[in-house]
Amino acid sequence: MTTATSFIRERAAAARAASRRLANLSTKAKNDALLRIASLLESEQEPLLAANAKDLEAAREAGLDAYFIERLTLTPDRLRGIASDTRAVAALPDPVGEVFDSRTLPNGLLIGRRRVPLGVVACIYESRPNVTIDIAALALKSGNASILRGGKEARHSNAALGEVIRRALEGSEVPAEAVQVVADPDRAHVEDLLKAHDLIDVIVPRGGPQLIEHVRMNATMPVIAHGDAVVQIYVDEFADVEKTVTVVDNAKTRRYSICNAVDTLLVHAAIAPAFLDALRNCWGTKITLIGDDRALALLSPSGDVPVERATEETWKTEHLALRVGVRIVDSMDEAIEHIECYGSHHSDAILTESYTNAMRFVDEVDSACVYVNASTQFTDGAQFGLGAEVGISTQKMHARGPMGLREMTSYKWTIFGNGQVRPL
Protein backbone atom coordinates (compact mmCIF):
# COMPACT_ATOMS: atom_id res chain seq x y z
CA MET A 1 0.00 0.00 0.00
CA THR A 2 2.77 2.39 0.94
CA THR A 3 4.60 1.51 -2.26
CA ALA A 4 1.49 2.04 -4.35
CA THR A 5 0.88 5.42 -2.74
CA SER A 6 4.33 6.67 -3.44
CA PHE A 7 4.12 5.27 -6.98
CA ILE A 8 1.08 7.41 -7.85
CA ARG A 9 2.32 10.44 -5.96
CA GLU A 10 5.69 10.20 -7.73
CA ARG A 11 3.95 9.99 -11.08
CA ALA A 12 1.64 12.87 -10.23
CA ALA A 13 4.51 15.01 -8.97
CA ALA A 14 6.42 14.33 -12.19
CA ALA A 15 3.31 15.25 -14.19
CA ARG A 16 2.95 18.45 -12.18
CA ALA A 17 6.55 19.47 -12.83
CA ALA A 18 6.11 18.68 -16.53
CA SER A 19 2.87 20.65 -16.65
CA ARG A 20 4.68 23.83 -15.68
CA ARG A 21 7.00 23.49 -18.66
CA LEU A 22 4.23 22.36 -20.98
CA ALA A 23 2.05 25.35 -20.05
CA ASN A 24 4.40 27.77 -21.80
CA LEU A 25 5.44 25.68 -24.79
CA SER A 26 4.67 27.04 -28.25
CA THR A 27 1.85 25.62 -30.32
CA LYS A 28 4.45 24.38 -32.77
CA ALA A 29 6.31 22.42 -30.09
CA LYS A 30 3.08 20.76 -28.95
CA ASN A 31 2.00 19.97 -32.51
CA ASP A 32 5.42 18.47 -33.30
CA ALA A 33 5.03 16.13 -30.35
CA LEU A 34 1.55 15.11 -31.49
CA LEU A 35 2.79 14.37 -35.01
CA ARG A 36 5.61 12.25 -33.55
CA ILE A 37 3.07 10.23 -31.59
CA ALA A 38 0.98 9.75 -34.74
CA SER A 39 4.01 8.54 -36.71
CA LEU A 40 5.07 6.07 -34.03
CA LEU A 41 1.53 4.67 -33.82
CA GLU A 42 1.91 3.75 -37.47
CA SER A 43 5.51 2.53 -37.43
CA GLU A 44 5.18 0.56 -34.17
CA GLN A 45 2.08 -1.41 -35.05
CA GLU A 46 3.69 -4.75 -34.31
CA PRO A 47 4.36 -4.37 -30.58
CA LEU A 48 1.05 -2.53 -30.13
CA LEU A 49 -0.94 -5.30 -31.79
CA ALA A 50 1.01 -7.95 -29.87
CA ALA A 51 0.19 -6.25 -26.57
CA ASN A 52 -3.44 -5.89 -27.59
CA ALA A 53 -3.57 -9.59 -28.48
CA LYS A 54 -2.66 -10.45 -24.88
CA ASP A 55 -5.54 -8.29 -23.62
CA LEU A 56 -7.94 -9.84 -26.12
CA GLU A 57 -6.94 -13.34 -25.12
CA ALA A 58 -7.47 -12.59 -21.45
CA ALA A 59 -10.81 -10.93 -22.23
CA ARG A 60 -12.01 -13.99 -24.16
CA GLU A 61 -10.85 -16.29 -21.37
CA ALA A 62 -12.74 -14.14 -18.90
CA GLY A 63 -15.86 -14.56 -21.04
CA LEU A 64 -16.34 -10.85 -21.73
CA ASP A 65 -19.00 -10.14 -24.29
CA ALA A 66 -18.53 -9.39 -27.97
CA TYR A 67 -19.35 -5.72 -27.56
CA PHE A 68 -16.72 -5.30 -24.85
CA ILE A 69 -14.13 -7.13 -26.95
CA GLU A 70 -15.00 -5.06 -29.98
CA ARG A 71 -14.15 -1.89 -28.08
CA LEU A 72 -10.96 -3.40 -26.72
CA THR A 73 -9.65 -4.44 -30.12
CA LEU A 74 -6.85 -2.71 -32.01
CA THR A 75 -6.23 -3.48 -35.70
CA PRO A 76 -3.82 -1.94 -38.23
CA ASP A 77 -6.76 0.07 -39.58
CA ARG A 78 -7.75 1.29 -36.16
CA LEU A 79 -4.19 2.30 -35.33
CA ARG A 80 -4.07 4.29 -38.55
CA GLY A 81 -7.39 5.86 -37.54
CA ILE A 82 -6.03 6.80 -34.11
CA ALA A 83 -2.91 8.26 -35.72
CA SER A 84 -5.12 10.26 -38.05
CA ASP A 85 -7.22 11.53 -35.10
CA THR A 86 -4.00 12.60 -33.38
CA ARG A 87 -2.96 14.56 -36.46
CA ALA A 88 -6.42 16.14 -36.47
CA VAL A 89 -5.87 17.34 -32.90
CA ALA A 90 -2.55 18.85 -33.97
CA ALA A 91 -4.45 20.74 -36.68
CA LEU A 92 -6.97 22.25 -34.21
CA PRO A 93 -6.47 25.79 -32.95
CA ASP A 94 -4.51 26.06 -29.69
CA PRO A 95 -6.81 27.44 -26.97
CA VAL A 96 -3.93 28.47 -24.70
CA GLY A 97 -2.90 32.12 -24.64
CA GLU A 98 -6.17 33.60 -25.86
CA VAL A 99 -6.88 36.80 -23.92
CA PHE A 100 -10.48 37.77 -23.32
CA ASP A 101 -12.42 40.40 -21.38
CA SER A 102 -9.39 42.62 -21.80
CA ARG A 103 -9.79 46.30 -21.05
CA THR A 104 -8.22 49.35 -19.47
CA LEU A 105 -9.79 50.33 -16.16
CA PRO A 106 -10.38 54.00 -15.32
CA ASN A 107 -7.26 53.95 -13.10
CA GLY A 108 -5.12 52.87 -16.05
CA LEU A 109 -4.73 49.20 -15.09
CA LEU A 110 -4.75 46.99 -18.19
CA ILE A 111 -6.68 43.90 -17.12
CA GLY A 112 -7.65 40.73 -18.96
CA ARG A 113 -8.19 37.02 -18.65
CA ARG A 114 -5.56 34.87 -20.30
CA ARG A 115 -6.46 31.30 -21.12
CA VAL A 116 -4.12 28.81 -19.44
CA PRO A 117 -4.08 25.02 -19.11
CA LEU A 118 -5.83 23.47 -16.13
CA GLY A 119 -2.49 21.89 -15.15
CA VAL A 120 -2.68 18.17 -14.41
CA VAL A 121 -5.74 16.30 -15.65
CA ALA A 122 -6.35 12.74 -14.46
CA CYS A 123 -8.74 10.49 -16.32
CA ILE A 124 -10.18 7.14 -15.27
CA TYR A 125 -11.80 5.44 -18.20
CA GLU A 126 -13.09 2.27 -19.75
CA SER A 127 -11.08 -0.51 -21.43
CA ARG A 128 -10.73 1.19 -24.79
CA PRO A 129 -7.11 1.68 -25.89
CA ASN A 130 -8.00 4.43 -28.37
CA VAL A 131 -9.16 6.61 -25.47
CA THR A 132 -5.62 6.57 -24.06
CA ILE A 133 -4.32 8.33 -27.16
CA ASP A 134 -7.38 10.56 -27.58
CA ILE A 135 -7.11 12.03 -24.12
CA ALA A 136 -3.31 12.22 -24.12
CA ALA A 137 -3.54 14.19 -27.38
CA LEU A 138 -6.26 16.58 -26.21
CA ALA A 139 -4.48 17.17 -22.91
CA LEU A 140 -1.16 17.79 -24.60
CA LYS A 141 -2.62 20.16 -27.18
CA SER A 142 -4.30 22.17 -24.42
CA GLY A 143 -1.03 22.33 -22.45
CA ASN A 144 -2.07 19.92 -19.72
CA ALA A 145 -0.12 17.05 -18.26
CA SER A 146 -2.25 13.92 -18.03
CA ILE A 147 -2.48 10.85 -15.85
CA LEU A 148 -4.34 8.12 -17.70
CA ARG A 149 -5.87 5.19 -15.92
CA GLY A 150 -7.68 2.94 -18.33
CA GLY A 151 -9.65 -0.21 -17.52
CA LYS A 152 -7.62 -3.17 -16.33
CA GLU A 153 -8.66 -5.32 -19.30
CA ALA A 154 -6.65 -2.98 -21.55
CA ARG A 155 -3.52 -3.01 -19.43
CA HIS A 156 -1.10 -4.52 -21.93
CA SER A 157 -2.37 -2.29 -24.72
CA ASN A 158 -2.14 0.76 -22.50
CA ALA A 159 1.37 -0.08 -21.34
CA ALA A 160 2.48 -0.40 -24.98
CA LEU A 161 0.73 2.84 -25.94
CA GLY A 162 2.34 4.56 -22.95
CA GLU A 163 5.72 3.37 -24.21
CA VAL A 164 5.00 4.74 -27.70
CA ILE A 165 4.00 8.10 -26.22
CA ARG A 166 7.08 8.19 -24.01
CA ARG A 167 9.40 7.50 -26.93
CA ALA A 168 7.65 10.07 -29.10
CA LEU A 169 7.93 12.75 -26.42
CA GLU A 170 11.57 11.99 -25.64
CA GLY A 171 12.46 13.29 -29.06
CA SER A 172 10.31 16.42 -28.65
CA GLU A 173 10.26 19.60 -26.58
CA VAL A 174 7.38 18.21 -24.49
CA PRO A 175 8.71 16.55 -21.32
CA ALA A 176 8.11 12.78 -21.43
CA GLU A 177 6.60 13.01 -17.93
CA ALA A 178 3.73 15.11 -19.32
CA VAL A 179 1.78 11.94 -20.14
CA GLN A 180 1.62 9.32 -17.41
CA VAL A 181 -0.05 6.09 -18.45
CA VAL A 182 -0.89 4.05 -15.36
CA ALA A 183 -1.39 0.60 -16.89
CA ASP A 184 -0.82 -1.34 -13.66
CA PRO A 185 -4.32 -2.48 -12.66
CA ASP A 186 -3.79 -2.14 -8.87
CA ARG A 187 -7.07 -0.68 -7.50
CA ALA A 188 -5.12 1.23 -4.87
CA HIS A 189 -3.86 3.50 -7.63
CA VAL A 190 -7.35 4.86 -8.16
CA GLU A 191 -7.76 5.63 -4.46
CA ASP A 192 -4.37 7.32 -4.43
CA LEU A 193 -5.31 9.43 -7.42
CA LEU A 194 -8.51 10.55 -5.72
CA LYS A 195 -6.54 11.82 -2.71
CA ALA A 196 -3.85 13.78 -4.55
CA HIS A 197 -5.61 17.14 -4.78
CA ASP A 198 -2.36 18.97 -4.21
CA LEU A 199 -0.95 17.51 -7.43
CA ILE A 200 -3.98 16.97 -9.68
CA ASP A 201 -6.23 19.84 -10.79
CA VAL A 202 -9.19 17.90 -12.10
CA ILE A 203 -10.25 14.31 -12.40
CA VAL A 204 -12.42 13.06 -15.23
CA PRO A 205 -14.19 9.73 -14.66
CA ARG A 206 -15.65 8.08 -17.75
CA GLY A 207 -17.62 4.91 -17.37
CA GLY A 208 -20.52 3.33 -15.59
CA PRO A 209 -22.60 4.90 -12.85
CA GLN A 210 -20.72 3.07 -10.09
CA LEU A 211 -17.36 4.47 -11.15
CA ILE A 212 -18.82 7.97 -11.49
CA GLU A 213 -20.47 7.77 -8.09
CA HIS A 214 -17.33 6.41 -6.44
CA VAL A 215 -15.21 9.21 -7.88
CA ARG A 216 -17.80 11.87 -7.05
CA MET A 217 -18.01 10.73 -3.43
CA ASN A 218 -14.29 10.22 -2.87
CA ALA A 219 -12.36 12.65 -5.02
CA THR A 220 -10.74 15.52 -3.18
CA MET A 221 -10.21 17.59 -6.32
CA PRO A 222 -12.77 18.95 -8.79
CA VAL A 223 -14.51 16.26 -10.82
CA ILE A 224 -15.91 16.51 -14.31
CA ALA A 225 -18.19 13.52 -14.50
CA HIS A 226 -19.07 11.90 -17.78
CA GLY A 227 -21.60 9.21 -17.27
CA ASP A 228 -25.31 8.78 -16.88
CA ALA A 229 -27.18 9.55 -20.02
CA VAL A 230 -30.90 8.87 -19.90
CA VAL A 231 -31.84 10.68 -23.11
CA GLN A 232 -35.43 11.69 -23.82
CA ILE A 233 -37.34 12.79 -26.89
CA TYR A 234 -40.69 14.52 -26.53
CA VAL A 235 -42.95 13.96 -29.52
CA ASP A 236 -45.23 16.98 -29.33
CA GLU A 237 -48.86 16.95 -30.43
CA PHE A 238 -47.82 19.25 -33.28
CA ALA A 239 -44.99 17.05 -34.53
CA ASP A 240 -44.63 16.07 -38.17
CA VAL A 241 -45.00 12.30 -37.98
CA GLU A 242 -42.76 11.44 -40.91
CA LYS A 243 -39.92 13.76 -39.82
CA THR A 244 -40.29 12.53 -36.27
CA VAL A 245 -39.95 8.86 -37.14
CA THR A 246 -36.82 9.60 -39.17
CA VAL A 247 -35.24 11.52 -36.28
CA VAL A 248 -36.29 9.02 -33.60
CA ASP A 249 -35.00 6.14 -35.71
CA ASN A 250 -31.63 7.86 -36.08
CA ALA A 251 -31.53 8.76 -32.38
CA LYS A 252 -31.98 5.09 -31.46
CA THR A 253 -30.55 2.92 -34.21
CA ARG A 254 -27.65 4.84 -35.80
CA ARG A 255 -25.67 3.53 -32.83
CA TYR A 256 -27.64 2.24 -29.90
CA SER A 257 -24.71 1.71 -27.55
CA ILE A 258 -23.53 5.28 -27.15
CA CYS A 259 -24.51 7.84 -24.55
CA ASN A 260 -26.53 10.09 -26.86
CA ALA A 261 -28.87 7.30 -28.06
CA VAL A 262 -32.47 7.95 -27.04
CA ASP A 263 -33.81 6.00 -24.05
CA THR A 264 -37.33 7.30 -23.54
CA LEU A 265 -39.97 8.57 -25.94
CA LEU A 266 -42.53 10.90 -24.35
CA VAL A 267 -45.41 10.95 -26.79
CA HIS A 268 -48.29 13.39 -26.66
CA ALA A 269 -51.60 11.49 -26.48
CA ALA A 270 -53.04 13.38 -29.45
CA ILE A 271 -50.35 12.16 -31.82
CA ALA A 272 -49.59 8.80 -30.18
CA PRO A 273 -51.78 6.57 -32.41
CA ALA A 274 -50.36 7.97 -35.67
CA PHE A 275 -46.81 8.19 -34.39
CA LEU A 276 -46.64 4.70 -32.87
CA ASP A 277 -48.18 3.27 -35.99
CA ALA A 278 -45.53 4.90 -38.17
CA LEU A 279 -42.78 3.89 -35.75
CA ARG A 280 -43.92 0.28 -35.86
CA ASN A 281 -43.78 0.37 -39.64
CA CYS A 282 -40.26 1.74 -39.48
CA TRP A 283 -38.81 -0.55 -36.81
CA GLY A 284 -40.80 -3.75 -37.29
CA THR A 285 -39.48 -6.24 -34.74
CA LYS A 286 -36.03 -4.62 -34.43
CA ILE A 287 -36.62 -2.61 -31.25
CA THR A 288 -38.32 -3.65 -28.03
CA LEU A 289 -40.81 -1.01 -26.91
CA ILE A 290 -41.22 -0.77 -23.14
CA GLY A 291 -44.51 1.04 -22.81
CA ASP A 292 -46.77 2.39 -20.11
CA ASP A 293 -50.33 1.08 -20.11
CA ARG A 294 -51.60 3.58 -22.65
CA ALA A 295 -48.74 2.93 -25.03
CA LEU A 296 -49.23 -0.82 -24.73
CA ALA A 297 -52.92 -0.43 -25.50
CA LEU A 298 -52.03 1.40 -28.70
CA LEU A 299 -49.34 -1.12 -29.64
CA SER A 300 -51.23 -4.31 -28.76
CA PRO A 301 -53.13 -4.76 -32.06
CA SER A 302 -49.84 -5.64 -33.68
CA GLY A 303 -48.77 -8.96 -32.26
CA ASP A 304 -45.28 -9.06 -33.73
CA VAL A 305 -43.78 -5.91 -32.15
CA PRO A 306 -41.77 -6.90 -29.10
CA VAL A 307 -43.27 -5.03 -26.14
CA GLU A 308 -42.78 -5.01 -22.40
CA ARG A 309 -44.60 -3.27 -19.60
CA ALA A 310 -42.70 -0.24 -18.23
CA THR A 311 -41.94 0.16 -14.54
CA GLU A 312 -40.65 3.12 -12.58
CA GLU A 313 -37.17 1.72 -13.26
CA THR A 314 -37.66 1.93 -17.03
CA TRP A 315 -37.62 5.73 -17.00
CA LYS A 316 -34.32 5.80 -15.11
CA THR A 317 -32.57 3.35 -17.42
CA GLU A 318 -29.90 4.11 -19.97
CA HIS A 319 -30.60 1.16 -22.26
CA LEU A 320 -27.50 1.05 -24.50
CA ALA A 321 -29.50 -1.63 -26.30
CA LEU A 322 -32.22 -2.05 -28.94
CA ARG A 323 -34.83 -1.08 -26.35
CA VAL A 324 -36.71 2.15 -25.77
CA GLY A 325 -39.22 3.33 -23.17
CA VAL A 326 -42.51 4.81 -24.41
CA ARG A 327 -44.73 6.93 -22.21
CA ILE A 328 -47.88 8.72 -23.27
CA VAL A 329 -48.26 12.24 -21.86
CA ASP A 330 -51.20 14.62 -21.97
CA SER A 331 -49.24 17.84 -22.11
CA MET A 332 -45.82 19.35 -22.58
CA ASP A 333 -45.87 20.18 -18.85
CA GLU A 334 -46.01 16.48 -18.12
CA ALA A 335 -43.17 15.79 -20.56
CA ILE A 336 -40.95 18.50 -19.05
CA GLU A 337 -41.71 17.26 -15.55
CA HIS A 338 -40.73 13.74 -16.60
CA ILE A 339 -37.46 15.00 -18.08
CA GLU A 340 -36.66 16.97 -14.91
CA CYS A 341 -37.53 14.01 -12.71
CA TYR A 342 -35.97 11.05 -14.55
CA GLY A 343 -33.46 12.45 -17.03
CA SER A 344 -29.72 12.92 -16.77
CA HIS A 345 -29.77 16.44 -18.21
CA HIS A 346 -27.51 15.15 -20.99
CA SER A 347 -29.38 15.47 -24.30
CA ASP A 348 -33.12 15.96 -24.68
CA ALA A 349 -35.17 16.85 -27.72
CA ILE A 350 -38.58 18.11 -28.74
CA LEU A 351 -40.05 17.24 -32.12
CA THR A 352 -42.69 19.75 -33.10
CA GLU A 353 -43.84 22.13 -35.77
CA SER A 354 -45.12 24.53 -33.09
CA TYR A 355 -42.79 27.50 -32.74
CA THR A 356 -44.16 28.35 -29.29
CA ASN A 357 -43.75 24.85 -27.96
CA ALA A 358 -40.24 24.57 -29.39
CA MET A 359 -39.12 27.80 -27.75
CA ARG A 360 -40.75 26.93 -24.44
CA PHE A 361 -39.06 23.53 -24.41
CA VAL A 362 -35.66 25.13 -25.00
CA ASP A 363 -36.32 27.67 -22.24
CA GLU A 364 -37.51 25.22 -19.64
CA VAL A 365 -35.52 22.05 -20.19
CA ASP A 366 -32.23 22.48 -18.41
CA SER A 367 -30.00 19.90 -20.06
CA ALA A 368 -26.49 20.09 -21.42
CA CYS A 369 -27.87 19.81 -24.97
CA VAL A 370 -31.44 20.78 -25.81
CA TYR A 371 -32.61 19.93 -29.33
CA VAL A 372 -35.48 20.99 -31.54
CA ASN A 373 -36.23 18.71 -34.49
CA ALA A 374 -32.86 16.99 -34.66
CA SER A 375 -31.34 13.70 -33.59
CA THR A 376 -29.79 13.55 -30.12
CA GLN A 377 -26.91 11.59 -31.64
CA PHE A 378 -25.36 14.91 -32.69
CA THR A 379 -24.15 15.38 -29.09
CA ASP A 380 -20.46 14.99 -29.80
CA GLY A 381 -17.47 17.32 -29.74
CA ALA A 382 -16.60 16.83 -33.38
CA GLN A 383 -20.24 17.24 -34.51
CA PHE A 384 -20.52 20.45 -32.48
CA GLY A 385 -17.45 21.85 -34.18
CA LEU A 386 -15.13 21.51 -31.16
CA GLY A 387 -12.80 19.20 -33.04
CA ALA A 388 -12.70 16.42 -30.49
CA GLU A 389 -13.81 15.75 -26.96
CA VAL A 390 -12.69 14.20 -23.69
CA GLY A 391 -16.29 13.26 -22.98
CA ILE A 392 -19.76 14.69 -22.43
CA SER A 393 -20.21 16.45 -19.12
CA THR A 394 -23.61 16.46 -17.47
CA GLN A 395 -22.61 18.80 -14.69
CA LYS A 396 -23.08 22.52 -14.78
CA MET A 397 -19.72 23.62 -13.47
CA HIS A 398 -16.94 24.54 -15.89
CA ALA A 399 -17.73 22.21 -18.80
CA ARG A 400 -21.22 21.23 -19.87
CA GLY A 401 -21.90 18.95 -22.80
CA PRO A 402 -18.97 18.01 -25.03
CA MET A 403 -15.67 18.78 -23.28
CA GLY A 404 -13.29 19.97 -25.98
CA LEU A 405 -9.95 21.73 -25.92
CA ARG A 406 -11.27 25.01 -24.57
CA GLU A 407 -12.98 23.19 -21.71
CA MET A 408 -9.56 21.77 -20.81
CA THR A 409 -8.39 25.25 -19.89
CA SER A 410 -8.76 27.80 -17.12
CA TYR A 411 -7.71 31.43 -17.20
CA LYS A 412 -5.61 33.72 -15.10
CA TRP A 413 -6.28 37.39 -14.61
CA THR A 414 -3.32 39.48 -15.74
CA ILE A 415 -3.04 43.04 -14.49
CA PHE A 416 -0.47 45.42 -15.94
CA GLY A 417 0.05 48.59 -13.95
CA ASN A 418 2.45 51.44 -13.44
CA GLY A 419 2.50 51.78 -9.70
CA GLN A 420 -1.28 51.89 -9.06
CA VAL A 421 -2.47 51.54 -5.48
CA ARG A 422 -6.03 50.94 -4.33
CA PRO A 423 -7.64 53.92 -2.59
CA LEU A 424 -8.98 53.37 0.93
Do residues 304 and 271 lie in contact, with contact meaning Cβ atoms separated by under 8 Å?
A: no
Smallest separation, CB 314 to its own copies (Å) = 20
Smallest separation, CB 91 to its own copies (Å) = 17
Burial 333-355 (b: 16+ CB within 10 A, else e): ebbbebbeebbbbbbbbbbbeee
Residue placing its CB nearer to its own copies in the complex, 274 or 415: 415
Do residues 371 and 73 lie in contact, with contact meaning Cβ atoms separated by under 8 Å?
A: no
Residue placing its CB nearer to its own copies in the complex, 42 or 337: 337
Among candidate residues 43, 122, 49, the one with its CA nearest the CA of residue 83: 43
Residue placing its CB nearer to its own copies in the complex, 167 or 338: 338
Residue placing its CB nearer to its own copies in the complex, 224 or 287: 224
What H or E segment, with its residue span, contains residue 392?
A: strand 392-393
Residue placing its CB nearer to its own copies in the complex, 151 or 402: 402
Do residues 179 and 166 lie in contact, with contact meaning Cβ atoms separated by under 8 Å?
A: yes
Residue placing its CB nearer to its own copies in the complex, 42 or 191: 191
Smallest separation, CB 413 to its own copies (Å) = 4
Neighbours of 303 (CB within 10 A): 7
CA distance 270 to 332: 12
Cα 104 to Cα 101, 293, 414, distances in angstroms: 10, 64, 12
Smallest separation, CB 132 to its own copies (Å) = 23
Among candidate residues 325, 331, 297, the one with its CA nearest the CA of residue 313: 325
Smallest separation, CB 200 to its own copies (Å) = 11
Smallest separation, CB 117 to its own copies (Å) = 9
